[in-house]
Chain A
Amino acid sequence: MLTAILALTLLALIFGLLLGYASVKFKVEGDPIVEQIDKLLPQTQCGQCSYAGCRPYAEAIAAGEADINRCPPGGEATILALADLLDVEPKPLDEEVGTEKPKMLAVIDEDRCIGCTLCIQACPVDAILGAAKHMHTVIADECTGCELCIAPCPVDCIDMVRTTPNPTTWRWPDPEHITLQEKIEEEQA
């Protein structure tokens, strides 16, 4: 038993070092434009853009394979920022990928949770805590609202709730702004 533990620890150590060395030695110079695009994406990692996460989508945009209007969580603000960065015309969110929704937060009904750990495996940002057969909970601050944990749950005990602002995070209402469509028209006129 002891030898097994020792052997495993040693292995972990060796591979850790190996990986560390490899990451330094074979470091791929990060593509600055991909970095910059990725910085503007909301990092919800939901995959609604049809890519495996924000970074893959950023890579696709940089490669000219994807349009800038495919990220519903980012919505108009992200589209405007991307248009600005890439110096292209902004355009409304692609309806195919969904619509801009208010920010949500996953909440686990702890009475119904059976501790199957399936949601933990689904969460892209490790925002769920819990051990097998024990109830799980979502760390509210870390949850990005990607909804990826909803489908895997076998007992349907995860709900998405709207995040409620407090007086510090509250925002003054929009008096009446022009939509992106109107702005584009106005600028063309």
Chain B
Amino acid sequence: MTQQQLGSFPGGLKLPGHKKRSTQLPIRRMPISKRLVLPLQQHIGEAAVPIVEVGEKVLKGQRIARAEGHVSVCLHAPTSGVIKAIADHQVPHPSGLTAPCVMIETDGEDRWIERNPVPDFRSLSSHEIRQRVREAGIVGLGGAGFPSFIKLNPGVRHHVETLLINGAECEPYITCDDMIMRERAAGIIEGIEIMMFALRAKECVIAIEDNKPESISAMRFALTANKALSETTRIVIIPTKYPTGGEKQLIQVITGKEVPSKGLPIDIGIVCHNPGTAYAVGRAIRHGEPLLSRIVTVTGTDVTHAGNFETLFGTPIRELLEFCETKRQPDEPFIMGGPMMGYNLSGDDLPITKTSNCILAGVDEVAIASQPLPCIRCGECAVACPASLLPQQLYWYSRSKEFDKTEEYNLFDCIECGCCDYVCPSKIPLVSYFRFAKTEIMNQERERRKSDIARERHENRLARQERERVEKEERQKQRKAALAASKAAQKKAENTEAESTTEAAAVKEDN
């Protein structure tokens, strides 16, 4: 293993970590809640489709919803119990809206369904591994929730040089990746081995920020235990800087290469996964366990006993907060995620989902919500931006709704890291504008597709009406012609009759 020169990305911030608070105790298991609420969509892509009925008994690990379409994964019962309802329920989403969920009343027995472990993953094909990962409901546990099986496909056009394990965890307060690397390093290594095999990757880099010495030594120790893997895998210690955990930023640090705008890491031969995801892949293949729980950091100034908790999906966030004892009042908002990229949620009945990495109640430096001042064009935001964007331009165009301009300025490369907000002397909520502009643009695209369909339907209708009109006219013409013909025939008949009578008369006269 040669120590390679590290690259870097522009901008970024040195932020106080506030991580000690939640790393004092080992990961604890959250008690099973009486009632679990499982949104059918906990991942990016199509929502899963329920395959159970209300009143049905389910076992731990039993599939309760199947994947629909390609970009989708299955959902399982996190423990044994009875399906109580399949209905809309408030979900942990910034909108505060409801979405279809499966409600389970747990029986406390935690009885497993029969598992199907594969001790030797090499007996499986790459495709079979992906299918199992999909069946196990695994999504990226870093926060975005993209179905992991898709990112285990080496593809035809590309080939994967490097599997990059993103152990940066750069955002303040969050420590769930740190804790899983400290305590379950061997399991993560197991998962990495399977991922390497499925991807046919040449090498693996495990990147960890230098503020996590415990994780670094635990991972090192686990890696040396696996002789074969340690030949192709190295642990790279990277400087602590926000937002190194951004996928494109981390790739820049590790390889010095830039992922092209609108491109994907795979375009330059890299696939990036979170350590928690690697652990889940190991459990799914070698132990036959689907994804039923995750590690959630509960922390913040209002939390008395902060820490990390292995929590079943569907567990009410309120129970987690109560378990840790908080000063928080019922229904007071809290942050889902970290202080930089998270969003406010309120509602005591919200469940933990596959993407809930951190519950934050109370932050140290409270940004005093002041009236934003006009932009003075100081350019600080552009200096801080890790994606080399021009936030002040993006702000101007988002604000005046010139969305095509925002796209010209690469709005969709913005990772919503909040660095620009943080440094802006005018306290302009820049990211709010960018989030607004992004969803607005996506909505316009949806509307455009819809209006294209409406135009087509309208044109079809006009064409049909025209056709009906022509047909009707034609029928009328036909009828008229037929009428005329029959009239003519009648006349003719009358005439011939008349003729014959006159003829007859003539004959008579002749006689």
Could you list which residues of chain A lie within 8 angstroms of chain B, going by C-beta atoms? 11-12, 15-16, 19, 38, 41-45, 53-54, 76-77, 80, 84, 124-127, 142, 144, 165-178, 183
Contact = CB atoms under 8 A, between A and B. Distances in A.
B456 to A, nearest CB: 9
A18 to B, nearest CB: 9
13 contacts: A15-B471, A19-B467, A43-B451, A43-B452, A43-B454, A53-B458, A54-B455, A76-B401, A165-B97, A167-B41, A170-B93, A172-B94, A178-B400
Contacts of A124: 458, 461
Given A44-B454, A80-B401, A170-B93, 12 more contacts: A11-B478, A19-B467, A43-B454, A125-B454, A165-B95, A166-B99, A167-B41, A167-B95, A167-B97, A172-B440, A173-B436, A174-B440
B93 A167 contact: yes
Contact of B458 (A125, A166, A170): A125
Contacts of B446: 169
B470 interface: yes
A127 to B, nearest CB: 8
B286 interface: no
Interface in B92-150: 93-95, 97, 99
B399 interface: yes
B402 A80 contact: yes
Contact of A172 (B41, B400, B402, B432): B432
A163 B68 CA distance: 25
A12 B468 CA distance: 10
Nearest to A16: B467
B56 interface: no
A170 B95 contact: yes
B474 interface: yes
Contact of A170 (B97, B452, B460): B97
Nearest to A143: B454
A187 to B, nearest CB: 9
Interface of B: 41, 91, 93-95, 97, 99, 398-402, 404, 429, 432-433, 435-436, 438-440, 443-444, 446-447, 451-455, 457-458, 460-461, 467, 470-471, 474-475, 478
Contacts of A144: 451, 454
Interface of A is mostly: loop
A142 B453 contact: yes
Contacts of A166: 97, 99
Contacts of A44: 454
Nearest to B461: A126
A183 to B, nearest CB: 5
Nearest to A44: B454
Contacts of A142: 453-454, 457
A171 B436 contact: yes
A125 B475 CA distance: 27
A171 to B, nearest CB: 4
A15 to B, nearest CB: 6
Given A167-B97, A174-B436, A175-B432, A77 B444 contact: yes
B458 A45 contact: yes
B474 A11 contact: yes
Given A43-B454, A53-B458, A175-B429, A183 B470 contact: no
B198 to A, nearest CB: 29
B399 A178 contact: yes
Interface of B is mostly: helix
Nearest to B440: A171
Contacts of B402: 80
Given A125-B457, A126-B457, A172 B471 contact: no
A79 B341 CA distance: 34
Contacts of B478: 11
Nearest to B99: A167
Contacts of A183: 400
Nearest to A42: B451
A142 B400 CA distance: 31
A174 B91 CA distance: 22
Nearest to B428: A175
B447 A42 contact: yes
A56 B213 CA distance: 70
B433 A175 contact: yes
B371 to A, nearest CB: 10
Given A11-B474, A167-B95, A38 B41 contact: no
A82 B398 CA distance: 18
A178 B399 CA distance: 6
Q: Which of A44, A144, A183 has the most CB of B within 10 A?
A: A144
B443 A171 contact: yes
Nearest to B343: A172
B231 to A, nearest CB: 44
A144 B458 CA distance: 11
Given A41-B451, A125-B461, A170-B95, A84 B436 contact: no
A142 B91 CA distance: 27
B175 to A, nearest CB: 27
Contact of B399 (A11, A42, A43, A177): A177
A16 B446 CA distance: 35
A19 B401 contact: no
